[in-house]
Amino acid sequence: MKRVITYGTFDLLHYGHINLLKQAKELGDYLVVVLSTDEFNLNEKNKKSYFSYDKRKQLLEAIRYVDLVVPEESWEQKISDIKKYYIDIFAIGDDWKGKFDFLKDYCEVKYLPRTPEISTTKIKADMSKALG
Protein backbone atom coordinates (compact mmCIF):
# COMPACT_ATOMS: atom_id res chain seq x y z
CA MET A 1 0.00 0.00 0.00
CA LYS A 2 1.81 3.09 -1.27
CA ARG A 3 0.70 6.27 0.48
CA VAL A 4 0.98 9.63 -1.25
CA ILE A 5 0.62 13.14 0.19
CA THR A 6 0.06 16.51 -1.46
CA TYR A 7 -0.67 20.05 -0.29
CA GLY A 8 -2.63 23.01 -1.55
CA THR A 9 -5.42 25.56 -1.29
CA PHE A 10 -7.55 24.10 -4.09
CA ASP A 11 -9.80 27.18 -4.26
CA LEU A 12 -12.27 27.51 -7.15
CA LEU A 13 -11.53 23.86 -7.88
CA HIS A 14 -10.70 23.36 -11.57
CA TYR A 15 -9.42 20.68 -13.94
CA GLY A 16 -5.80 21.64 -13.27
CA HIS A 17 -6.28 20.61 -9.67
CA ILE A 18 -8.03 17.42 -10.77
CA ASN A 19 -5.14 16.58 -13.14
CA LEU A 20 -2.72 17.00 -10.24
CA LEU A 21 -4.77 14.87 -7.86
CA LYS A 22 -5.16 12.17 -10.52
CA GLN A 23 -1.41 12.09 -11.19
CA ALA A 24 -0.66 12.02 -7.46
CA LYS A 25 -3.08 9.14 -6.81
CA GLU A 26 -1.60 7.19 -9.74
CA LEU A 27 1.73 7.18 -7.91
CA GLY A 28 0.27 4.94 -5.19
CA ASP A 29 -2.86 3.54 -3.59
CA TYR A 30 -3.88 6.11 -0.99
CA LEU A 31 -3.82 9.92 -1.30
CA VAL A 32 -3.74 12.33 1.63
CA VAL A 33 -4.53 15.93 0.68
CA VAL A 34 -3.33 18.52 3.21
CA LEU A 35 -5.61 21.48 2.62
CA SER A 36 -4.56 25.02 3.52
CA THR A 37 -6.82 26.48 6.21
CA ASP A 38 -8.36 29.92 5.76
CA GLU A 39 -5.96 31.32 8.37
CA PHE A 40 -2.91 29.74 6.67
CA ASN A 41 -4.02 31.19 3.34
CA LEU A 42 -4.46 34.66 4.82
CA ASN A 43 -1.39 34.77 7.07
CA GLU A 44 1.13 32.75 5.09
CA LYS A 45 0.03 32.74 1.46
CA ASN A 46 -1.45 36.22 1.30
CA LYS A 47 -4.48 34.86 -0.47
CA LYS A 48 -8.09 34.89 0.61
CA SER A 49 -9.81 31.82 -0.76
CA TYR A 50 -13.30 32.29 -2.20
CA PHE A 51 -14.56 29.09 -0.58
CA SER A 52 -14.02 28.41 3.13
CA TYR A 53 -11.91 25.51 4.33
CA ASP A 54 -15.02 23.42 5.02
CA LYS A 55 -16.40 23.97 1.51
CA ARG A 56 -13.02 23.28 -0.11
CA LYS A 57 -12.73 20.11 2.01
CA GLN A 58 -16.22 19.00 0.97
CA LEU A 59 -15.30 19.45 -2.70
CA LEU A 60 -12.03 17.52 -2.36
CA GLU A 61 -13.67 14.67 -0.46
CA ALA A 62 -16.04 14.19 -3.41
CA ILE A 63 -13.12 13.48 -5.76
CA ARG A 64 -12.50 9.79 -6.46
CA TYR A 65 -8.70 10.23 -6.25
CA VAL A 66 -8.78 11.66 -2.71
CA ASP A 67 -8.79 9.36 0.32
CA LEU A 68 -8.24 11.77 3.21
CA VAL A 69 -8.30 15.56 3.64
CA VAL A 70 -6.56 17.15 6.64
CA PRO A 71 -5.67 20.78 7.48
CA GLU A 72 -2.48 22.57 6.52
CA GLU A 73 -1.80 25.13 9.26
CA SER A 74 1.93 25.78 8.89
CA TRP A 75 4.78 25.49 6.38
CA GLU A 76 6.65 23.34 8.91
CA GLN A 77 4.22 20.45 9.31
CA LYS A 78 5.31 18.39 6.28
CA ILE A 79 7.88 16.17 8.02
CA SER A 80 5.51 15.36 10.88
CA ASP A 81 2.69 14.74 8.37
CA ILE A 82 4.91 12.30 6.44
CA LYS A 83 5.57 10.39 9.67
CA LYS A 84 1.99 10.67 10.99
CA TYR A 85 0.41 9.29 7.79
CA TYR A 86 3.20 6.80 6.95
CA ILE A 87 3.80 8.52 3.63
CA ASP A 88 5.92 6.94 0.88
CA ILE A 89 5.67 9.74 -1.70
CA PHE A 90 5.34 13.53 -1.43
CA ALA A 91 3.92 14.93 -4.69
CA ILE A 92 3.20 18.50 -5.73
CA GLY A 93 3.05 20.61 -8.89
CA ASP A 94 6.35 21.46 -10.58
CA ASP A 95 5.83 25.16 -9.86
CA TRP A 96 7.39 24.08 -6.55
CA LYS A 97 10.28 22.21 -8.19
CA GLY A 98 13.21 21.89 -5.81
CA LYS A 99 11.47 23.62 -2.91
CA PHE A 100 10.72 20.40 -1.03
CA ASP A 101 13.85 18.36 -1.81
CA PHE A 102 14.65 18.36 1.93
CA LEU A 103 11.79 15.88 2.32
CA LYS A 104 13.87 13.29 0.40
CA ASP A 105 15.29 12.21 3.76
CA TYR A 106 11.80 11.01 4.70
CA CYS A 107 10.07 9.89 1.49
CA GLU A 108 10.21 10.06 -2.30
CA VAL A 109 9.61 13.57 -3.68
CA LYS A 110 7.85 14.00 -7.04
CA TYR A 111 7.16 17.27 -8.86
CA LEU A 112 4.26 16.74 -11.22
CA PRO A 113 3.50 18.76 -14.37
CA ARG A 114 1.05 21.58 -13.80
CA THR A 115 -1.79 22.21 -16.25
CA PRO A 116 -0.39 25.43 -17.72
CA GLU A 117 -3.39 27.20 -19.15
CA ILE A 118 -5.66 27.29 -16.11
CA SER A 119 -5.39 28.88 -12.67
CA THR A 120 -7.69 30.29 -10.02
CA THR A 121 -6.21 33.72 -10.76
CA LYS A 122 -7.10 33.35 -14.45
CA ILE A 123 -10.63 32.25 -13.63
CA LYS A 124 -11.13 35.31 -11.41
CA ALA A 125 -9.67 37.66 -14.04
CA ASP A 126 -11.74 36.19 -16.87
CA MET A 127 -14.91 36.32 -14.78
CA SER A 128 -14.41 39.95 -13.77
CA LYS A 129 -13.80 40.82 -17.46
CA ALA A 130 -16.89 38.92 -18.56
CA LEU A 131 -19.08 40.49 -15.90
CA GLY A 132 -17.66 43.95 -16.46
CB of 122 to ligand C2G, least distance (A): 8
CB of 54 to ligand C2G, least distance (A): 16
The residue among 3 and 78 lying less far from ligand C2G, judged by its C-beta, is: 78
The residue among 3 and 17 lying less far from ligand C2G, judged by its C-beta, is: 17
Which residues contact ligand C2G by CB under 6 A? 7-10, 16-17, 19-20, 36, 72, 92-93, 95, 114-115, 118-119
Which among 2, 22, 25, 45 is annotated as catalytic?
Answer: 45
CB of 49 to ligand C2G, least distance (A): 9
The residue among 30 and 71 lying less far from ligand C2G, judged by its C-beta, is: 71
* Residue among 71, 77, 3, 75 at smallest CA distance from 38: 71
Distance CA(88)–CA(108), nearest Å, equals 6
Q: In what order do the strands lie in the sheet with 89-93?
A: 68-72, 30-36, 3-8, 89-93, 108-112
Q: What share of the chain is helix, strand, coil (3-state, %, to 5)?
A: 45, 20, 35
47 is catalytic: yes
Distance CA(48)–CA(9), nearest Å, equals 10
The residues annotated as belonging to the active site are: 45, 47
